[in-house]
Amino acid sequence: MNKLDVIGKYLFALPFAVFGLMHFMAANDMAGLVPSAIPGGVIWVYFTGACLVAAAVAIMLGKMAQLAATLLGVLLLVFVLSIHLPAVMGGDQMAMTTILKDLALAGAAFYYASKQAV
């Protein structure tokens, strides 16, 4: 692994660890983002936070990084389809930025996963 690979790995994973921790610190505030059709509310916020932290740790440590990055990409696509797209369709044009960000991060996660040895 060259230096850019190492730097890129950490720059990619670290924000997900922070996002995950933020889910724990502001769970009640984020519970309103869980689609109303999905029961559980705040439980899903904690679950998502745990998934984000676990993916970040796995990628940083290089342990099960391919699986972690693949699942992270899937999770980001779920966010796009279940949270951000309905917001855009409901008239929130600011959500388009979030859709594009999460699509780009999902693509990066899938690309990173494809570069990991099985």
85-95, pLDDT tens digit by residue?
998 999 988 88
Whole-angstrom distance, CA of residue 31 vs CA of residue 49? 12
At residue 41, what are phi and psi to the nearest 5 degrees? 45, -110
Q: Please write the tens of the pLDDT for every residue from 65-101.
A: 999 999 999 999 999 998 899 989 999 888 899 999 9
| Residue 88 pLDDT | 92
Q: What is the mean pLDDT of the chain?
A: 92
**What's the predicted TM-score (pTM) here?**
0.90
Whole-angstrom distance, CA of residue 70 vs CA of residue 55? 9
Please say if the pLDDT value at position 53 is more than 90: yes
CA distances from 61 to 34, 37, 54, 66, 83 (A): 30, 36, 11, 12, 30
Whole-angstrom distance, CA of residue 97 vs CA of residue 60? 27
- pLDDT confidence tier of residue 34, bands split at 50, 70 and 90: confident
Please say if the pLDDT value at position 62 is more than 90: yes
